[in-house]
Structure 1
């Protein structure tokens, strides 16, 4: 146990790529919830005959469960975070292009964005976040979507961008503040 801040080192792993401590619980629960969520949503889309989105969701679910196995068997330090980051990023843009933002009404493609940014660390998470804002803006302002129903009203685009910006600022700010305040264990 790290006496300085009360954190048990077993709950964290050191990400050598970032030079930061990351939570094993976030990856474990994030991969499990994302896998289950993708599986359930994939089944719903399958029975609604939206086979493309169902296939994407089933793939995300399979990759998430594979990442969970890698993290549990081989270890978190092996890059298990990429089994979480890549499917979430792919699904995020698939939902934006497919029209999932407006159809759900709950912005559920934002649900796993904080975990994605957290696993990249506050610097690389901020870089990805800015790139995502740029790509989202380009998609929204040019109405580029190969799918019917993938075009949004200006009000929906504005609300979604504001929600995404606010969520990213909160997530990255929280991680930065906790890291700087020493809330994670010391370096190995």
Structure 2
């Protein structure tokens, strides 16, 4: 079965980007807050200084917590809460000479950048409501700033315009990233799938064999492989044409998938050869599976594809041993397949030199 390694790799890249973004924005924001906090002290605006210093401490704490836990949510939410608090304070207090709202545009963009499209849009509406309430709701005791009606209307209108444009941009970026994930997954799937039959290809099988070999050496879990080849396939192609030959391969592939377990892997090894990986299966068990497949192919209904000649297959079975690597395992199963062919085809051959023909063991 194709892996999802491409999706995992993309998520890892995205997570790394998130860490880097939060680190850079967070540290830059802390530096800004400290600078303007010192400036507020020099201007004897101690309340503003306290808010800015408090924001810098909370932001720095969020970054350090994110780094120690490797959970970027601590950083993104911590900085976003800090930014939203400063956003509300600057509108309510006016900042320095009522210039506080001028910073609200960049503060919103920081939240949008950290939270992404969906959460960023939600944050936009929350900040918009906060701005409207603080500017237009009368007699709020904690609001000390006074703005003209024209300024308030223009600020809200420009903030809405910025929110719409930022949301559109973030949506397109989010959609492009999702499209990239889908395309990458499709390419990964195509690179590990046989185009004709839809089975795993050699690359996918090789990767799965390496995993099973690792489990065998680490935990002692045996696994076996079955090398299968359709008998006289060239004659089928010559008599019925390559199109019918392809239809036969597809039909056989579907049959193999139906007959094996969910944890087994069926691969088109090349041409009319198929390779079946049987995890946690010893030699005797794999012989039983191979004989089951042989019988199923022997009685397969070929009328659906217009082939009247009988079709059979030969099988070579091999179970992993401590002295074998993957190449040697495959070579051994290939030799066993050759022996099955040499002894008359439509047979299962195992390393002990026994031939399972039509359900019997000689």
TM-score band w.r.t. shorter chain: 0.7 to 0.9
Select which of 40, 43, 52 maps to 1:48.
43
**Shift in Å, 1:140:** 1.6
**Shift in Å, 1:64:** 1.3
Which residue matches 2:213?
Answer: none
Please list the CA deviations of residues 73-103 of structure 1 after superposition, one character each: whole Å capped at 9, or x if unmatched.
3214352211211110000000000012863
Show structure 1 runs of 4+ deviating over 6 A. none
**Shift in Å, 1:9:** 6.1
Aligned partners of 2:107, 2:179: CA distance in 1, in Å? 21
Q: Is the 8 A contact 1:101 1:109 kept in 2?
A: no
**Shift in Å, 1:12:** 2.5
Question: Where is the strand percentage greater, Structure 1 or Structure 2?
Answer: 2
Which residue matches 1:156?
Answer: 151
Aligned partners of 1:52, 1:184: CA distance in 2, in Å? 47
Whose Rg is larger?
2
> Where in structure 2 are there 5+ consecutive unaligned residues?
1-5, 186-362
Counterpart secondary structure, 2:15 = strand
Which residue matches 1:171?
Answer: 166
Describe the shift of the 1:145–1:157 C-alpha distance in structure 2 as closer, same or farther (beyond 3 A): same
Question: Where is the helix percentage greater, Structure 1 or Structure 2?
Answer: 1
Q: Is the 8 A contact 2:84 2:107 kept in 1?
A: no
The answer to whether structure 1 residue 119 and structure 2 residue 121 are counterparts is no
Select which of 93, 104, 111 maps to 1:109.
104
The answer to whether structure 1 residue 37 and structure 2 residue 32 are counterparts is yes
Alignment of 1:55-134 (within 5 A): 55-100=50-95, 103-104=98-99, 107-134=102-129
Describe the shift of the 1:36–1:70 C-alpha distance in structure 2 as closer, same or farther (beyond 3 A): same
**Shift in Å, 1:166:** 2.1
Which residue matches 2:14?
Answer: 12
Please list the CA deviations of residues 137-161 of structure 1 after superposition, one character each: whole Å capped at 9, or x if unmatched.
2222224454685010112212221
- TM norm structure 1: 0.78
Q: Is the 8 A contact 2:91 2:145 kept in 1?
A: yes
Please list the CA deviations of residues 110-149 of structure 1 after superposition, one character each: whole Å capped at 9, or x if unmatched.
2221121233332222222122212212222224454685
Q: Is the 8 A contact 1:11 1:25 kept in 2?
A: no
> Where in structure 1 are there 5+ consecutive unaligned residues?
15-21
Aligned partners of 1:183, 1:101: CA distance in 2, in Å? 43
Describe the shift of the 1:35–1:185 C-alpha distance in structure 2 as closer, same or farther (beyond 3 A): farther
Aligned partners of 1:141, 1:157: CA distance in 2, in Å? 8
**Paired residues, what number?**
176
Q: Is the 8 A contact 1:145 1:151 kept in 2?
A: no
Describe the shift of the 1:85–1:114 C-alpha distance in structure 2 as closer, same or farther (beyond 3 A): same
Describe the shift of the 1:146–1:110 C-alpha distance in structure 2 as closer, same or farther (beyond 3 A): farther
Which residue matches 1:18?
Answer: none
